[in-house]
Chains A and B, each alone.
Chain A
Amino acid sequence: MKQTWVKPFLTAHRMGGMNKFGAVRAQNHQSDIDGVEIAPLLEKYGSPLFIVSEKTLRDNVRRLRRAFATRWPKVRHGWSYKTNYLAAICNVLHQEGSWAEVVSEFEYRKARANGVPGSRIIFNGPWKPNDILELAAQEGATIHLDHLDELYALEQVACKLGKQVPVGIRLNFDTGYTDSWSRFGFNLESGAAKDAVQRIAASPWLKLTGLHSHIGTFVLDVRAYSAQIRIMTDFMEQVERDTGCVIEYLDIGGGFASRNALQGMYLPPDQIVPSFEQYAEAICGTLMEATKGRAAAGKPLPTLILETGRAVVDDAEILVTTVVGGKRLPDGRRAAILDAGINLLFTAFWYNHEVKPLRPLNGIAEETVLYGPLCMNIDVVRASIMLPPLNVGESLVIRPVGAYNNTQWMQFIQRRPAVVMVTQNGEVSVIRASEQLEDVSGLEQVPLALQQPFPQGIPA
C-alpha cells in the first residue's frame, strides 16, 4: 500500500534556541465556530470569509457590564463605532444596552440609521462639522468638546437653537503610565482644560456636565486607569468648586487590551492581558476612594462611562483564509500565499494573530511566512509562525480579528469578502455581502471622450 504524500521538508537542528517559558503554542485546529462547521460556510460564501460569533459578542459585553456594575452603581457602555461599525454588530450591542460612541459625522449618521436615538449617542472626535453638531445638540447627544474652536462653534449652535446645551470636555494629561495623547482634547497640566471650563461657565448657552479622557490603547497596566481616575476626580472637584457646575459623569474612554498578541510582546496574551474584573477593580476601587466625600457634600456620584471597543469585539470574529500558493524562500524558510492579506487584516501590522488550520495537518511544523495576495512587499500576515506543510486549498483560521479590521480594511487590489454572523441559535446570516466590481466602479464616471471604443482608435 502506498504511503500518504506530505510535502517533503528538511529542518536544521539548532542549539541554544530553547525558551525557558516553554511557550510553544498548541498546533491544534479549529473546524467550527459555536458548533457551526466552517468548511461548508467557505463553500457557500467563498474564501476569504469573516465570521462573527454573536454569542461571544454578547458574552463579552455582559461580562464587561457585570464586572463594572457589581463595583459601581452607575455604569454606561458606549459602543465604539470605529472599532467595528457593521450594523449587525452595533445592534447586538445596542440590544445589550450599549450606547453608540461615534467620532464623526459619518458615524453619527450611521448610529442614527441603526436606530439609535441621538440621546443615546456619545459624540467624540476632533472634527464635528456644524450641521451635525447642530443635529447632535438638537437631539440631546452627549457632546465632548475637543478644542476651543469647537467650543465656540457649539456655543453658536446653542444660541441659534435658543437652548442651553449640556457639554463635556475631553481632557489629556500624563498618567505616568502611558504616552499622553495630547493631540485630543484640552491639556490639564498647561491649564488649557481649566481655561476651557471657565469659558464654558461664562457662557449662557453651554453647561459643563461631564469630563472625558482616553489614556491610550491596549493598556496592559491597570494602574494607568487608577491614575486616570485620580486625576479626573481631582479635576472634577476643582471645576465644581471653581464654577459651581455639577459633573454628572466621568467618561474614561477605552483602551482595554484584547486577547491578541502585540508584536514584540514576550508573554502570550493569556498571561499578560488583564481581565475585565482586574480593570474594574482598579477603576472602581479608585473611584470609590476618590468620591467617598461626595454624598456628605450633597453631590451625586458620577456615572462611569466606558468606551470599550477592542476587548469586546476582537475575539468575537475570525477570518478564514485559504492557501493559494507556496514557495521556499532563499533563506530556507517556507512561505505560503493566502487569499487574505493586509487589505483585510490591517491589524497584522501590529499583532501576531493566532493562526490555526481548519483540520489537523500532517507533518512537522516548521518556520513559515504567511503572505497575503497583494502585489505589495508589505503584505505579510505573519512574518514567522510554526506551521505544518500547507498545500494549496488548505484553509486557515486567523483570530482574533473583530477589532478595527472591518473598519480599516481597504478595497485595494482585491474586493472585500463577505462577513457572516453565526447567531445565538446557530443560524448563519450574511451581515455584509462580498463586494462586486460594480460596488467599487459604480461611483466612477468616465468622461465621454475617454470611453471605449475611442473614436479616434488606439495607436498601434
Chain B
Amino acid sequence: MNGQAVEFPKQALLTRLALSDSGFVFDPVTGNSFTVNTSGLSILRLLQKTEDWTDIIATLQAEFEVSYSVAERDVLEFATALRSAFK
C-alpha cells in the first residue's frame, strides 16, 4: 500500500483541532465538535504530526493489538470519514 495514494484532510486543518484524552474533538475555526474513539484519537494525533503511511500503521500496531491488514483497511475507511468531517 502506498501511503501517498491516501488522501487525508490538509494537515493544517488537522493540526488546529483540539483533541482531549476522552475523545472530544473541537474544531476552533468552524465551531464543530466530534466524538472519536481511542483508535480514531490515535490516528488523529498521528496525522497531526505525520502523513507517512508506514509510520501511521506501524505506530498503531505498536499501540494496539491489530494486524497490518486490519489496521490498513480501517485507516483507509477512517480517511473517508475524516474527509467528510473536515472539508
- Distance in angstroms between the alpha carbons of A328 and B65 in the assembled complex: 23
Residues of B within 8 A of A328 (CB): 77-78, 80-81, 84
Is B81 a contact of A9 with CB atoms below 8 Å?
yes
- Distance in angstroms between the alpha carbons of A7 and B38 in the assembled complex: 9
Residue of A nearest to B23 (CB): A364
Contact (A5, B65) CB under 8 Å given A10-B25, A326-B77: yes
Is B37 a contact of A2 with CB atoms below 8 Å?
no
Residues of A within 8 A of B6 (CB): none
Contact (A2, B80) CB under 8 Å given A9-B40, A363-B37: no
Indicate with 1 or 0, residue by residue over B59-85, a CB within 8 angstroms of chain A CB atoms. 000111110001100110110111011
- Distance in angstroms between the alpha carbons of A6 and B41 in the assembled complex: 11
- Distance in angstroms between the alpha carbons of A232 and B32 in the assembled complex: 62
Q: How far is the CB of B84 from chain A (nearest CB, A)?
A: 4
Residues of B within 8 A of A331 (CB): 84
Is A13 a contact of B37 with CB atoms below 8 Å?
no
Residues of B within 8 A of A327 (CB): 77, 80
Is B65 a contact of A332 with CB atoms below 8 Å?
no
Is B70 a contact of A5 with CB atoms below 8 Å?
yes
Is A445 an interface residue when CB atoms closer than 8 A count as contact? no
Contact partner of A12 (CB less than 8 A), chosen from B32, B43, B75, B78, is B32
Is B82 a contact of A10 with CB atoms below 8 Å?
yes
Residues of B within 8 A of A8 (CB): 36-37, 39-40, 42-43, 74-75, 77-78, 81
Residues of A within 8 A of B42 (CB): 8
- Distance in angstroms between the alpha carbons of A219 and B78 in the assembled complex: 44
Q: How far is the CB of B42 from chain A (nearest CB, A)?
A: 8
Indicate with 1 or 0, residue by residue over A95-113, a CB within 8 angstroms of chain B CB atoms. 0000000000000000000
Q: How far is the CB of A3 from chain B (nearest CB, A)?
A: 5
- Distance in angstroms between the alpha carbons of A4 and B71 in the assembled complex: 12
Contact (A13, B81) CB under 8 Å given A5-B64, A6-B39, A8-B75: no
Contact (A13, B32) CB under 8 Å given A7-B74, A8-B40, A326-B77: yes
Residues of A within 8 A of B64 (CB): 2-5
How many residues does chain B have at the interface if contact means C-beta atoms less than 8 Å apart?
Answer: 29
Residues of A within 8 A of B44 (CB): 10
Is B71 a contact of A332 with CB atoms below 8 Å?
no
| Contacts of A337-388 to chain B: CB distance below 8 A | 363-364
Is A271 an interface residue when CB atoms closer than 8 A count as contact? no
Is A11 an interface residue when CB atoms closer than 8 A count as contact? yes
Is chain B's interface secondary structure helix, strand, loop, or mixed overall? Answer: helix
Is B35 an interface residue when CB atoms closer than 8 A count as contact? yes
- Distance in angstroms between the alpha carbons of A364 and B41 in the assembled complex: 14
Is B39 a contact of A11 with CB atoms below 8 Å?
no
Residue of B nearest to A326 (CB): B77
Contact partner of A3 (CB less than 8 A), chosen from B35, B65, B70, is B65
Is B34 a contact of A10 with CB atoms below 8 Å?
yes
Indicate with 1 or 0, residue by residue over A220-263, a CB within 8 angstroms of chain B CB atoms. 00000000000000000000000000000000000000000000
Is B15 an interface residue when CB atoms closer than 8 A count as contact? no
- Distance in angstroms between the alpha carbons of A330 and B37 in the assembled complex: 20
Is B81 a contact of A10 with CB atoms below 8 Å?
yes
Residue of B nearest to A331 (CB): B84
Most buried by A among B25, B35, B37, B80: B37
Is B50 an interface residue when CB atoms closer than 8 A count as contact? no
Is B74 a contact of A11 with CB atoms below 8 Å?
no
Indicate with 1 or 0, residue by residue over A1-25, a CB within 8 angstroms of chain B CB atoms. 0111111111111000000000000
Is B33 an interface residue when CB atoms closer than 8 A count as contact? yes
- Distance in angstroms between the alpha carbons of A363 and B37 in the assembled complex: 7
Most buried by B among A4, A5, A326: A5
Is B71 a contact of A10 with CB atoms below 8 Å?
no
Indicate with 1 or 0, residue by residue over A307-342, a CB within 8 angstroms of chain B CB atoms. 000000000000000000011101110000000000
Nearest first, the 7 A-B pairs at minimum CB distance are A8-B40, A5-B66, A328-B80, A332-B84, A8-B39, A5-B64, A8-B78
A-B contact pairs, 5 of them (CB 8 A): A2-B63, A4-B65, A5-B39, A9-B37, A13-B34
Question: Which residues of A come within 8 Å of B, CB atoms?
Answer: 2-13, 326-328, 330-332, 363-364
